[in-house]
Amino acid sequence: MHKATLRKLVKQAGLADCVEIHTGKEVEILVTDESGEVDREATEAKQKLFCSKVANWGGIRNGYGAWMMREDYTSKGDWNDRTSPWHY
């Protein structure tokens, strides 16, 4: 998806304040409260809204609570699942 198209869809969905567009294939979704702390519940809600209104992409939650959404994301499973490629 072109970056301009993605920016337009994000704006139409009302997510411009919490979605940072890195490329046309990757965005970061993060909501903070008044004190600057990450609001995990609100971030989760915005991530679901992004998937329903903008693009149904997959992604992961990073260490500080933001969602990194990618157009070509494919889940590789759980670290503790023995059938997963991520399993140690």
- Please check whether residue 6 is in contact with residue 55, taking contact to mean a CB–CB distance below 8 angstroms: yes
Angle ∠(46,68,34) on CA atoms, nearest 5: 50
pLDDT at position 72: 86
Higher-confidence residue: 19 or 79? 19
- Please check whether residue 18 is in contact with residue 66, taking contact to mean a CB–CB distance below 8 angstroms: no
pTM reported for the whole predicted model: 0.81
Confidence of residue 76 (pLDDT cuts 50, 70, 90): low
Tens of pLDDT, residue by residue over 18-35, are 999 998 899 999 999 999
pLDDT at position 35: 94
